[in-house]
Amino acid sequence: MLKIESIHTFYGLSHILFDVSLEVSKGEIVCILGRNGAGKSTTMKSVMGLAPPRQGNIMFKNRDITGVKPHQIARMGMGFVPDDRRVFFDLTVEENLEISERGVEKPNAWDRHRVYEFFQPLKHIRSRKAGLLSGGEQQMLTIGRALVTNPDLLLLDEPTEGLAPILVGMLEDHILALKDSGLTILLAEQNQKTALNLSDRGYILDNGVIRYQGKIEDLRQNEEIMRRYLLVG
Amino acid sequence: MDFSTSITLNGLIQQFLIGLSRTTILFIVSSGLSLVLGVLRIPNVAHGSLYMLGAFLCYTIASFLGASSLGFWLAILLAPLVVALVSLAVERGLFCHLYDREHLMLLLFTFALMLIFGDVVKAVWGSEYRSLSPPEVFQGSLSILGMPFPKYNLFLLCAGPVVAFALWFLTQKTKIGKIARAAAVDRDMVAAVGINVSWVFASVFVIGCYLAGLGGALVAPTQNISQGMDHTIIMEAFLIVIIGGLGNVWGALLGALIFGLTASMGILVWPQFSIVFPYAAVVIVLVFRPKGLLKATW
């Protein structure tokens, strides 16, 4: 589904990602674990075309998407849920979904009504301005907004950041439900528990370099790695 | 000097209505400027030039079609459309390749456009004044409370709310309006849901320039159509947008009201220095609300 081949990404003069390679196969949840500032969000933005890499290639569905414009990448079937949520604050919940909706010819396609079924709380606040929602509601909306574009691969950047534990549990169930419905997910997380609960495979990113990759069971048992790259301080 | 004796209630109302019709023009022009500023984040310095172009085109089209009423209305209709077409060509041909550049480049580009449009107008129409009469229905004056009031200004008073409603409908109720409001705040996310932001920008730019052309066409019968009208309006429009709140169309309405009314009421109070009043109002607003009266989208 997605193959990142040794990309180097810069913000202006600062070199953020060094030779990052990773792969996501159809139907998997793959996580990128790492501390704040490790380069997780930059990886996501590179894939989405928002921070194109200066070197290396990104293949999506066997097509080279390096340097392709973000809206074209989105139309190829990539959904993006950014870490800072970034709902369209000025628009209502309904309008957020309305402008993002892109119908496709397939059974069970996502539209705003299916999003309201999936995230029930959104249904009752559909006419509220997105800027006035709580963190949890905004997170549901950002995911819903990505879903109505009917993606095949969902980039989920720190979906649990700043959410109350009860909401984190709820969100994890929803993410697993999405996987069961056939969606492939690349997940960036700081929250190890969530990442380990959900993922099939994982990568550890530290200072812009991939330090480890492997099955999630192996990672769970490898305390040495976890301590070295993920513990704060 | 005793001011109070020279001001009558009727005179006050008359000046108020004159101010409101001036407000209409100011609002139409600055709402277009504000729209472009809010969504594209570009201060379009050439906005005033498109207003001037609209006025000259209105004059030429009306004269070409014969000085009939029908010719006049067709000119009011067509001149802004031609301005919109010109802006579409400029946007797609040149401007859209610059969006990734830094802001200063874009500003310089619109500045260059202003100079070019100014010269084009000079080359085509020469440096003489032109004037255009309103159609027969709107010629002459009407007596309001015993004071004469130009009929054409009544037409302007009706045009203002129509344009305001159209803008409200466009930004709040249409899909392109909703997308534009989203793009004003977060263009990357708009792209990330699969919307071609470049076309959103083009549409907003063209609509904004259309409004400049419309303002120019509407103002044509009320004043001399001349070189330099671009500079006057762009100054006023920028001040209006700044006191209203950058990128906020309703701020432009509020700013235009303040600017238009202080100018016309100022004439009653102190005719020789009436031009000072709107600028003083701008200063006062900015002292208390440095970011403008309504919420800026910046």
Spell out which residues of chain B touch residue A65, defining contact as CB-CB under 8 Å.
Answer: none
Tens digit of each residue's pLDDT, chain A (233 residues) = 999 999 999 998 899 999 999 999 999 999 999 988 899 999 999 999 999 999 999 999 999 999 999 999 999 999 999 998 899 998 999 999 999 998 777 778 899 999 999 999 999 999 999 999 999 999 999 999 999 999 999 999 999 988 999 999 999 999 999 999 999 999 999 888 899 899 999 999 999 999 999 998 888 888 777 777 776 54
Name the residue in chain A with its Cα closest to that of B176.
A99
B236-280: pLDDT as tens digits: 999 999 999 998 889 999 999 999 999 998 888 888 888 899 999
Secondary structure of residue A110 in the 3-state scheme? coil
Token pair, residue B114, equals 């202003």
Does position B1 have pLDDT exceeding 50, yes or no? no
Quickly state the pLDDT bin for B144 (edges 50, 70, 90): confident
Contact of A77 with A61, CB cutoff 8 Å: yes
B39, B97, B175, B193: best mutation site toward chain A, by most A Cβ within 10 Å?
Answer: B193
Task: Return the amino acid letter for A45.
Answer: K
Name the residue in chain A with its Cα closest to that of B188.
A50
Task: State the SS3 of B175-198.
Answer: HHHHHHHHHHHCHHHHHHCCCCHH
Quickly state the pLDDT bin for B148 (edges 50, 70, 90): confident
A90, A92, A112: best mutation site toward chain B, by most B Cβ within 10 Å?
Answer: A90
Does position B6 have pLDDT exceeding 80, yes or no? no
Spell out which residues of chain A touch residue B184, defining contact as CB-CB under 8 Å.
Answer: 90
Contact of B197 with B56, CB cutoff 8 Å: no
Task: For residues B1-9, give the mean pLDDT.
Answer: 60
A48, A100, A138, A142: best mutation site toward chain B, by most B Cβ within 10 Å?
Answer: A100
pLDDT of residue B137: 85
Contact of A134 with A149, CB cutoff 8 Å: no
pLDDT of residue A131: 93
Contact of A62 with A72, CB cutoff 8 Å: no
Contact of B258 with B281, CB cutoff 8 Å: yes
Q: pTM for this structure? A: 0.89
Which of the listed ranges B132-136, B208-212, B281-285, B290-294 does the model predict with the highest average pLDDT?
B208-212
Spell out which residues of chain B touch residue A95, defining contact as CB-CB under 8 Å.
Answer: 178
Contact B193 A74 (CB under 8 A): yes
B280-297: pLDDT as tens digits: 999 999 999 988 999 887
* Contacting residues for B150 by C-beta, under 8 A, at least 6 apart: B140, B141, B142, B222
Whole-complex ipTM: 0.91
B52-110: pLDDT as tens digits: 999 999 999 999 998 788 999 999 999 999 999 999 999 999 998 888 888 889 999 99
Secondary structure of residue A39 in the 3-state scheme? coil
Contact B189 A149 (CB under 8 A): no
pLDDT of residue B145: 79
Question: How many CB atoms sit inside 10 A of residue B115's CB?
Answer: 12
Does position B3 have pLDDT exceeding 60, yes or no? no
Residues of A contacting chain B (CB within 8 angstroms): 48-50, 69-71, 74-75, 80, 82, 86, 88-91, 95-96, 98-100, 102, 145-146, 149
**CA–CA distance, A86 with A84 (Å, rounded to integer):** 6
pLDDT of residue B259: 94
Mean pLDDT rounded to a whole number for chain B: 91
pLDDT of residue A221: 84
Secondary structure of residue A56 in the 3-state scheme? strand
pLDDT of residue B102: 85
* DSSP codes joined into one string, chain B: ---GGG--HHHHHHHHHHHHHHHHHHHHHHHHHHHHHHHH----TTHHHHHHHHHHHHHHHHHHT-SSHHHHHHHHHHHHHHHHHHHHHHHHHTGGGSTTS-HHHHHHHHHHHHHHHHHHHHHHH-SS-B--PPPGGG-SEEEETTEEEEHHHHHHHHHHHHHHHHHHHHHHHSHHHHHHHHHHH-HHHHHHTT--HHHHHHHHHHHHHHHHHHHHHHHGGGS-B-TTHHHHHHHHHHHHHHHH-TT-HHHHHHHHHHHHHHHHHHHHH-GGGTTHHHHHHHHHHHHH-TT-SS----
**A190-A193-A199-A202 Cα dihedral, nearest 10 degrees:** 50
